[in-house]
Structure 1
């Protein structure tokens, strides 16, 4: 298993994985509710600042997990991130 930062070209596979996970009914988005397009999501990944990242877990064949770490823009909270 490999853990790495997401790249813009990962957008389509990441969206597919997110939709798959949402089928559990335990996530914020309900099954079928997410309307993210790969081109838009690719730009979001590209626009992440130094204080934020999306980490991917992949095996030899596909993406198997993800973690969003979103940094804070406020000076006093620069040392922290929200994890989803």
Structure 2
């Protein structure tokens, strides 16, 4: 799996962004976005030692990897995020 993007919180309103039980400050890194060889998108912590969820599938018709990462991250973490 290769890292294709990173997920950051957007605002200081911590109630909108939840990475399971962890709360994050505005602008902090939530997760790294990984894409597997079979096209699934996974999320991990900064060290890559803990993975969140079971993999997100985003339609392969969306060819832009950043857009696919953004769609999957919003499904996983909510709408108040930035993917870069």
> TM-score when scaled to structure 1?
0.29
Higher strand share: 2
> TM-score when scaled to structure 2?
0.29
Q: Say which one has the larger Rg.
A: 1
